[in-house]
Amino acid sequence: MTHLSEKTQMLDSLFSHSPVLPLLNIERLEDVLPLADALAEGGITTLEITLRTALGIDAIALLRSQRPALMVGAGTVLAAKQFEAVLAAGAQFVVTPGCTDELLQCGLEAAVPLLPGIATASELMSAYRLGYRRFKLFPAQILGGVGLLRAFAGPFRDVRFCPTGGVSQANLAEYLALPNVMAVGGSWVAPAELIAQQRWGEITALARAAGQVGSA
């Protein structure tokens, strides 16, 4: 079993290379490879495929098979059965919108890192007790955004976050400037309408713009 401290290091390494995590909702399987290629051309090589659509698991398996150089994670994982399914598909990390005892236990047992979602200090502390030190803050902007993250920095000095929910190109730099933010996630890098219209060049441009902020 991989220890949680090792998985924390895995997440830190992962996001040090790619601090902008696009959240991708796949409606057509034929979009997966050109979408990933468009993002990679713009400098984003770590992707979160959500399970908000029925094609999420198939998309993960396709990417792991056809684009092995990319880092592919699974998002919107809500239960242990989904956790097991995304691991079988080859997901290299798992992200949840919230944390339950069941999912936290899955994260302890899995070989790949879990980034559990939290919205409160109490939720954070429940996972912290088990050894988790890296979290998704969701929905970040509604909860207080940058202000909440600054407040969390006081009592939780060894914790870092990936805020999602309301993060955009407009506030990206403000989030990434915080010492306790390791990455940000959002769908603005690959909007649904651009994917539906297969406007890959525009997605590449959005990825490049986000990456320039992330590396500043």
pLDDT the model gives residue 68:
98
From CA 136, how far away is CA 171, in angstroms rounded? 17
Mean per-residue pLDDT of the chain: 96
User: Binning pLDDT at 50, 70 and 90, where does residue 2 land?
Assistant: confident
The dihedrals phi and psi of 199, each to the nearest 5 degrees, come to -95, 70
Whether the upstream peptide bond of residue 139 has omega within 30° of 0, thus cis, is yes
pLDDT the model gives residue 17:
86
pLDDT tens-digit profile of 50-81?
A: 999 999 999 999 999 999 999 999 999 999 99
Which residues contact residue 185 at a Cβ distance below 8 angstroms, ignoring those fewer than 6 apart?
20, 21, 22, 23, 48, 75, 95, 136, 162, 163, 164, 167
Does 215 fall in a domain?
no
Does 216 fall in a domain?
no
Domain count of the chain? 1
User: Binning pLDDT at 50, 70 and 90, where does residue 1 land?
Assistant: low
pLDDT tens-digit profile of 163-201?
A: 999 999 999 999 999 999 999 999 999 999 999 999 999
Active-site residue list: 48, 136
First and final C-alpha spacing in the chain: 37
Q: Say which CATH number the domain at 88 has.
A: 3.20.20.70
DSSP designation for 155: T
Residue 40 belongs to domain spanning: 4-208
